[in-house]
Amino acid sequence: MAEVQTLRVPRPAVVTVLVILTQTVGAALLLIDRTVWLGASALALFTLAATILAHPFWRERGGEFRRELTTFLEHLGLVSGLVLAAVVTQNAERAGF
């Protein structure tokens, strides 16, 4: 919860519970191969929102700018992979695979 409090979001305890639920349920949906598109989409949206909140590289200078930008771009790579998983599995389900 300390990590959430540093972001100055309202109701950090509630946000912490929602973070844990999103990550747990999203990962479980991916692992059990049920509604993968839903789990991947939830994790992608969460990761994108968390990345924008936690890694505002545009506010930094020097070394801190580079660190935040690198982390931001790494997280965007994860979001891209999750979006790809959501699209591919949704299309496969529609095709009957």
How far apart CA 87 and CA 41 sit, in angstroms, is 9
pLDDT tens by residue, 65-88: 999 999 999 999 999 999 999 999
How far apart CA 24 and CA 39 sit, in angstroms, is 9
Q: Which residue has the higher pLDDT, 3 or 93?
A: 3
Residue 53 backbone phi and psi in degrees, to 5: -70, -40
- Both structure tokens of 29: 């949906």
Number of domains in the chain: 1
Task: Check residue 11 and report its DSSP letter.
Answer: S
Q: Which of 15, 35, 11 is nearest to 25 (CA)?
A: 35
Show the domain range for 39.
2-95
- Residue carrying the six token digits 């949206």: 45
